[in-house]
Structure 1
Amino acid sequence: MEFTVGQIAELLGGLVEGNAAGKIRELAKIEDAQEGSLAFLSNLKYEPFLYTTGATAVIVAKSLELKQPVTTALIRVDDPYLSFTVLLEKYEEALASLKTGVEQPCFIGENSTIGENHYRGAFSYIGQNCTLGHNVKIYPQAYIGDNVRIGDNTTIFAGAKIYGKTVIGNKCTVHAGAVIGSPGFGFAPQKDGTYRDIPQTGNVVLEDNVNIGANTTIDCATLGSTIIHEGTKIDNLVQIAHNVEVGKHTVIASQTGISGSSKIGNYCTIAGQVGIVGHISIADKTIVGAQSGVSKNVTKSGTIIQGSPAFDYKQNLRALAVFRKLPDLEKQLFELKEKK
């Protein structure tokens, strides 16, 4: 695929300084870009590369003042990082649109339907009574159980497993190795010390524009649904237990574990290696720092917490400052005792 600098500027609503007829064939980092490449400059730490880059064009902020002449064309926009993200999305969509058709062998069960312009990779499996929308991509060795519904423009990557009754919305992405809808961890303790399985009869619902990372697992509900609301992005290696509800446009980083029946609000940020106990609620726009353990409700919107157990971020920093001084404080205490 090849575009001119001017065409790209028009797509982004930007202004061109330099050769608008230059040909762009690829996207690249500003420090590595060569002729035919398009790069961007958002972090001013990389500004020196703007004057040495081999890129045909660079996306920069309208407000950027040049410190010396440049040889590359500039596309000036309000937000270079956002504009480059838009381009990456368009590029990915264009590549995905080229992937259509059915590879063999693959299987689709009775009473299942799939929309136009779909792709089914070799060894993929679709069960009975499934409904898949238009432009859906099912990559090799993906498994889709019975009675699953998947919306338009959704991609299920290689080796992902979608258990029966799962509902996935439009424009979702489920990356390789993810497991959606596996039974929740439900076992009833018996008087003799053994455990009895509790059937997990619910499902998982992923609303529109949800992204699930590689090897992430989301358990089905015991009753009802485990729900991931619209626009939420979940990293690789995350565990979400049965009957959890995650709000809209929340981001959850790798190795986080959320225990059963907890509710995470909208626009939250959950950093890496966070543990959240079951049956608690976390308010909208909460930020949970890395390696935190959340053991009680967070009721105030916009709260920032850190630590294990997690509490107010600033108080936690003060507590850590004191903690670092404990050896010296202990030494001073012993010295005082000896003086007595």
Structure 2
Amino acid sequence: MSDRPPPHGAGLHAWPVDGLGEVRRGTVLVDLLDGVDLHDGDVVCVTSKVVAKAEGRQRRQDREEAVTQETVRVVARRGPTRIVENRLGLVMAAAGVDASNTEAGTVVLLPEDPDGSARRLREDLAERHGRNVAVLVTDTAGRAWRTGQTDLAVGVAGMEPLEPMDGEVDAYGNRLVVTAPAVADELAGLAELVTGKLGGRPVSVVRGLAPRVLPAGEHGPGAAVLQRPRSQDMFALGAREAVVAAVRGRDLDCFGAPASAEEVAAALTSCGLDAATDGPAVRVRLGAGTRDQVVALERARLVCLAHGWGPFSDTGPATPALGDAVFFSPGDP
């Protein structure tokens, strides 16, 4: 096995570990690093696939069946493509189930506990090699806003995955508010660049980030902190799925925190409804005609539901009833 260390000097250096054989159930992951000259402060990146194979997560199973079993919630579906939330809380295509680089007729699931896998490998490397390194378990995923895929960290041990910079001031005196580089994901993308998808090199080493590596025995919060809470996710449902959720009155946490009265009133008005703020509530005038009132009430209910509002506030009727107007307030219906 060959190890290609970086040249001397400052900077960030990444290189793949060559000469690794096929990883199977029971493979001891620390053995894969036996020929590598690790330094304190290095970051070892291992693909989730080899971790999963070593942990026995390879299955002889239909891929679509495996995706269904690993799915907790469907975020969006277009034809055969499913973007789902899986058992780990990760949102990705096909629940992270992979049918590439594995024997025909088999699939590989994600590790059951990627953060735990990263911690164990870090501890094993410290015990065998006496080196304090960080470990990332990486996987490939798409992005909601962009075409293509990049690798991200699904397991992290020995470093902080995020670098919160809120409150810091830039060179122009501007105070940063929501800046928090996802350092672990950036490193995962770098690791993928040097290993490639088809080179059969699932392990890489990054050198030059020693200040970010935590002291021995401190693993950090893990990759779980990189997962955006559902209530804060503006893309928690696909466009079609959001309509269905509003009609069904399900998955309400996907719509996030209640919007302001002004925002709700504006949304209702844009849908052709006679709406206005009324103190802390929003009033919708239903107009004349029973049928028109029923249609207007249902449209208003769906729009308000998607904004975290429901009928009826203390300023309006206590029970759903047709009349001159209906009132909505923040909270579940």
Q: TM-score, normalised by structure 1?
A: 0.22
Please identify which structure carries the higher strand content: 1
Q: Which has the higher contact order (CA 8 A, sep 6+)?
A: 2
TM-score normalised by length of structure 2: 0.22
More helix by share: 2
